[in-house]
Amino acid sequence: MTELSATATVEVSADPATAFRIFTEEIDLWWVRGPINFFDAARATAMQIEPGVGGRLLEVYTPPDDVLELGRITDWQPGSLFAYRSSVDDTETRISFEPVGDGTRVTVVQTLLPDGSKAFYFWTNVIHWFPTWLARRDTAPHTPRELDRLGVALYYEDPAAAARWLHTAFGLTSWTSIPSEGATPSWVELNVGDRSVILFQRSGTRAPQHDHSTWIYVDDLDAHFARAQQSGAKILSEIHQHGYRKYETEDLEGHHWTFAQARPTQ
């Protein structure tokens, strides 16, 4: 059965007018360019919002006049909200900007239309990129953020629980969000710098293979080792040096991880 709606909320440290302007004008800067973040990722080069009622949400290809219309704007109130009717499924989306203290609460509500049957509820995953961009836009290059071409996929019985554990024990973060208790996504994307570690649902009862290890370079290996120990990670080898300093550990479902000390310029 198709869910009737999906809602997601983030808070940002900007007033509503500024948050609205950055959200709409700079969507191509905060939208992460990864292989699963577009309807046609093989050709996509940009995201664009045309302002005003009747404007379009566009996935832009090459040449730039080749586009996929994602939706048509039906309500446009700068600093307050905008809404659009999807052109790729049977949903309507409202994005509101509400003052909260010195900042703004941005809420996305994506709703299945009456008699509709097709819904791609993608906003709950991507809206979390927006506060990440706002936090770094004053010092970061104003170029679209690209994921590296190399990613790691690991399989777990419970990807959400694994994501929470990896966040607590190893400090892995996500450009989207760490699933809360009770969430049951079939996959979760974590990020190390501009690389993806994707946690998928394991099928069957096959245990993790131990003929590989995921390597991550960290700024403070000693602090990271202490955090992993305190979180109950199984330590396979303590910190040791062989040209570089590293330690090896095992996560809650038996995957092997190697953490090594990063160079000062890395």
The pLDDT value given to residue 149: 72
Note the pLDDT tens digit of each residue in 161-196: 999 999 999 999 887 788 888 888 878 889 888 888
| Cβ count near 172 (within 10 Å) | 19
Note whether 126 and 207 are same-domain residues. no
Within a domain: residue 87? yes
Please give the Cα distance from 8 to 127 (Å, whole number): 7
For the chain, how big is the Rg over CA atoms in Å? Answer: 21
Domain termination residue (choose one: 76, 111, 136): 136
Q: Are residues 123 and 242 in the same domain?
A: no
Whichever domain contains 69, its CATH number is: 3.30.530.20
Distances in whole angstroms, Cα of residue 258 to Cα of each of 132, 216, 233, 255: 27, 6, 12, 10
Angle between helical axes of 221-230 and 159-170 (0-180°, round to 10): 130
Q: What is the CATH number of the domain that holds 215?
A: 3.10.180.10
Query: Do residues 11 and 108 both lie within one domain?
Result: yes
Domain containing 157: what range?
152-261
Residue 56 inside a domain? The answer is yes
Which structure tokens are listed for 112?
């299945």
Residues 25 and 103 grouped into a single domain: yes
Confidence of residue 1 (pLDDT cuts 50, 70, 90): low
- 68-72, 156-160, 189-193, 250-254: lowest mean pLDDT where? 189-193
Asked if 204 and 221 count as a contact pair (C-beta separation under 8 A), the reply is no
Query: Domains in the chain: how many in total?
Result: 2
95 and 159 share one domain? no
- Same domain assignment for residues 255 and 156: yes
> 114 and 162: one domain?
no
Residue 25 lies in a domain: yes
Q: Does 99 sit behind a cis peptide bond, omega within 30 degrees of 0 on the bond before it?
A: no
Evaluate whether residue 144 is within a structural domain.
no
Question: Does residue 142 belong to any structural domain of this protein?
Answer: no
Go through the chain and tell me how many residues it has: 266
Per-residue pLDDT reduced to its tens digit, 11-55:
999 999 999 999 999 999 999 887 678 888 778 889 999 999 999
Report pLDDT digits (tens) over 110-157: 999 999 999 999 998 899 899 989 998 999 889 887 777 778 889 999
